């Protein structure tokens, strides 16, 4: 008789700009799964005009060191009307990977640090109220309550002193499960 095999768990994750077409498609699918199907924030699609110029970032699980699947995503974009101001939005982690601990922080780090390298002087995000503590623990200031898509959010600002510029986000960084950060790759 065979013993059941435990489900595969990635030993490390790479967080980087989504550069390959399959990464971009997987980011869009993950956003749809989280924001449309799971949370019901949007009917049909969460895509909007920002997607035309936003930079998608992905968290990739790995198998033998090679990318296996997109398990997290966020997007960033400059605010054209306010020089130096950048925004992050649509942070999503696949349901089965939310307890990993390193994915949300890694996505936030690549988002803010890569924008910082591109001239960001102020980085903002509308954060779902339930996730505000995560951001506060990562050196974000809470600027107040706002209601978006019928849900309570917090307007938050990253403390750029804690996010040194990342000049090579196409390669990004490697994170380990349980929040143990690894070195930039």
Question: Domain-by-domain residue ranges, the chain?
Answer: 13-184
Q: How confident is the model at residue 2 (pLDDT cuts 50, 70, 90)?
A: low
> Is 102 exposed, middle or buried, given 0-12, 13-18 or 19+ CB atoms closer than 10 A?
buried
pLDDT above 90 covers a percentage of the chain that reads 77
pTM of the model: 0.90
Domain 13-184: CATH architecture, name and number where available: 3-Layer(aba) Sandwich (3.40)
Say if residue 11's pLDDT is above 90: no
pLDDT-wise least confident of 55-64, 152-161, 169-178 = 169-178
Q: Rounded to an integer, what is the distance from CA 34 to the centroid of its chain?
A: 13
Say if residue 181's pLDDT is above 60: no
Tally of CB atoms within 10 A around 31: 23
What pLDDT, on the 0 to 100 scale, is given for residue 183? Answer: 46
Say if residue 6's pLDDT is above 90: no
């Amino acid at each position: 008789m065979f013993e059941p095999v435990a489900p595969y768990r990635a030993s490390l994750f790479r967080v980087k700009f989504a550069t390959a077409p399959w990464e971009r498609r997987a980011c869009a699918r993950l956003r749809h799964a989280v924001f449309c199907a799971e949370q019901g924030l949007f009917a049909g699609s969460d895509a909007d005009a920002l997607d035309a110029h936003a930079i998608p970032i992905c968290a990739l699980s790995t198998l033998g060191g090679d990318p296996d699947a997109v398990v997290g995503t966020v997007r960033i974009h400059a605010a054209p009307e306010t020089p130096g101001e950048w925004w992050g939005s649509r942070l999503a982690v696949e349901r089965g990977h939310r307890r990993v601990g390193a994915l949300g922080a890694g996505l936030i780090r690549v988002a803010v640090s890569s924008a910082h390298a591109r001239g960001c002087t102020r980085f903002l995000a509308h954060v779902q109220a339930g996730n505000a503590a995560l951001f506060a623990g990562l050196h974000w200031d809470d600027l107040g309550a706002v209601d978006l898509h019928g849900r309570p959010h917090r307007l938050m600002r990253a403390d750029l002193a804690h996010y040194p510029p990342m000049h090579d986000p196409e390669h990004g960084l490697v994170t380990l499960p349980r929040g143990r950060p690894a070195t930039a790759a």
